[in-house]
Amino acid sequence: MIVARDISEFRRARALLGASVGFVPTMGALHTGHSSLIQQAKAHNEATIVSIFVNPTQFLEGEDWDAYPRQEMHDLAMCQSLGVDIVFMPTIEAMYGNDELAIMAPCKAGYVLEGATRPGHFGGMLQIVMKLLNLAHPTRAYFGKKDAQQLALIIKMVKEYFMNVEIVPCEIVRDENGLALSSRNAYLDATQKHQALALSQSLHRASSLIEQNQLDCAILKEQILEILQGVDRVDYTEIVNRNFEVIEAIEANNTIILVAAHIGTTRLIDNLWV
């Protein structure tokens, strides 16, 4: 496994790979959810690249960029064990210059839900994803469905900028109790992890009601919020179509139910694709 820390080193290593390359961009603090992405990339491609970069431009002032978990030795050991070919770990200086060109998130889909709560986040996210895709030149890139709005915007960017890469959405990975895996789960103590189960439990309640043919979104949101009373603060709960437009009734195979809430000082998100 090659660990590349500057762009020229990475480009030399990338040039040696086969015709089919899978790419998994991450911010590190790798967990079982990341290993699932890597395993899918390995299964579908001749070679696999993982990037580890805690991207400053997608964090707002006062957010947890400084505190975000960094576990380089653990992450490299996981990548080695999974058979990753290249791990790209660039510096901020390598990825960003002065007076950078900006990529703006779309005015509608980029400024609702996460975009409304974290204005500017998606512009920074799209900026780094485009840079990484341009550097890695992958055949396929793998992103989890837990960050549903991020995934939708990346697919939109790739389509509208005519980028030659297939974006592969990957299912949410959960722990044995149903908590969606996230690097930020490391902030939670045992009591808070139990409290955080309210997010997945609220989505499970909605799923059960939909199976009973309850398709009214207002009623579903009431039931979700009832269970989310156990969290410290709810940022939002919303039901949208795949274009992130609010809907009044569940649309089969075209609906996402999203929740965002705080457990102590930790902000978590989860969702259900219907």
List residues with catalytic annotation: 34
């341009």: which residue's tokens?
Answer: 134
What is the Cα gyration radius of the chain?
19
Q: Please answer whether residues 133 and 157 qualify as being in contact, where contact means their C-beta atoms are separated by less than 8 angstroms.
A: no
Contacts of residue 182, Cβ cutoff 8 Å, sequence gap at least 6: 31, 33, 146, 268
Contacts of residue 128, Cβ cutoff 8 Å, sequence gap at least 6: 25, 53, 55, 57, 58, 95
Q: How far is CA 234 from CA 6, 109, 253, in A?
A: 40, 21, 26
Residues paired with residue 233 on neighbouring β-strands, in sequence order: 262
Torsion sign (Cα): 194, 38, 166, 253: negative
Q: Residue 158: count other Cβ atoms within 10 Å of its Cβ.
A: 18
